Structure 1
Amino acid sequence: MKPVINIKTISDINKFVQHKTKHPLVTIIDFSKMDEVMEDGIRISCDFYSVMFKNYCANNMRYGRQSYDFQEGSLVCIAPKQVVTMDNEIEKKEDMMGWGLFFHPDLLLGTSLGSKMKEYTFFSYETSEALHLSDKEKETLYDCIEKIETELQENIDHYSQTLIVSNIELLLNYCQRYYGRQFITRKGSNRTIVEKVADVLTNYFNSNELNKNGLPSVTYLAEKVNLSPNYLSDLLKKETGMNAKDTIHYYLIEEAKRILLGTNKSISEIAYELGFEYPQYFSKLFKQKTGNTPQEFRNLK
């Protein structure tokens, strides 16, 4: 396996693709104007955010464990410090189409977008969970890119950061909307995933896994259905109204109710059986989810 190339600054990535630096904290790269195709198997980690749109299917990328063949009109967003592997078939230069927006977290310091970035959970999706765009959606995003590019052509002044960041925020808000649309249009396959999640959690709570390994994590659940934790959580929220953590807690509380009403075990015994190190944490969660303490719920029967 090849070592990871860490690209620290916007100037570094511009040098990497032989692109002129117009602003130290943000750049837009037109992939059709790149002189060379990246080496096969190259592994890259950047210290900044990447939003990449590819309008062809020759290129293959891997992010984490997943691989993804870019279909026509697909967009992927990658957070800083994530490792991306380029698995390239040799491409003809004329086949390379698309754009990349790269911006450093320092650009967002002191802005409202800086405090909102954690809300854009798609930056932690796998590339296999890329956003597939309609022609109209492509045009809308490209309009944002053109506005940013126009601003990059200007001399940096007091208004530069505000105008660039506001257009990046607009682009990310559109991405959030389009992901919401994608969850809806893929409702059939999403329901299959919801059913898989139900099966995984039911089997987990019906086996001795709880005693051996404690409460299942969101990461564990995501791995079982071959999705990233954030994508799974957002999918479940759209389909069921509960994110991944809430879904795990739902099955936990249902199991707790079963034990409370079906046995004479003490609250502490039940808490330990359910994987809690401290019984008071179990009681607090149970009351939060049901409105009653475990003992109050038991007394209701």
Structure 2
Amino acid sequence: MRLTEGPAYMSNGIIFTANHHRERDAQPATVSHPQFELFSLESNAALQFMDDHEARRLDLFEVLWCKSATGTVQADSGVRDVEPQQLFILAPGQLRRFQLQPGATGYYLRFSPDFLYVTSHLKEIAGLLEQHHMNMQALTLDVHRELQEDLEDVVRKMKREYYGSQRMRSELLTELLSMMMIYVSRGLDAIAPSPVVTREGELTIRFRHLLKKKFLTKKKVSDYASELLVTPNYLNTSVKKVTGFTASHHIQQQIINEAKRQLISSNGSMKEIAFYLGFDNIAHFSKYFKAKTGVNFTSFRNGLEVAR
């Protein structure tokens, strides 16, 4: 049974699409860009992404909690084997491919990136997710027993609200999603302590968010500094203090990562990819690519083809 799109409710700028069907019957919503979706991996709704034929570019955050599953998760060019009680978080802009064997149990959740940026106490986890995105990796967390219990409780309540139609449904979903991400961030603290979000950290998060949206047209630090109402020098200094690299480095890395993603996901020529990335001169793009990656464009493409 195809899920019929119901009325949409907004809470803190996050759109929750109402549906009134039980999960066992649910299929993906028919809208182009649903802002929030939640499935059990055992449901029919999960079948559309359990075994992708090719990598998909994400425009929302995705959380895949594999309680029991075998298979692989690809984030950009990196592929990881799935183990029991693993949780994967992928960021908008990444290329993602799931290949899970039948019989997987767990949950799949996707939500708008705006959620993390409008929720003040989640800005540090937003920064951590952004760092993994810049490194072309999926953030992976082993879910220990105590965290399992906490997440199960939150997801159970979230499912009840998502598949129901109670009053103030969207507000409660916002709070539950916030709680879930806080529990996840605690699990991540065991891997590496979360940084304190300073003024420079706040600026860095805003810069990265803007960079992902506008890197095709804005290539200079001054372009971003102008929109963020700071000087180029202050932006460079702040971003380097937080990440270890200047804003200009992140701009260059974003362009190179996108070039790699285009190579992974399409058969476009160097000319087509160069123009897509805003380079008018193909020779300039070729030199730029080699300078930033250490190999020329053709060699990199040949290496991908061999790996496939």
TM-score by length of 1: 0.47
- Which protein shows a greater Rg? 1
**TM-score normalised by the chain length of structure 2:** 0.46
Structure with the bigger percentage of helix: 1
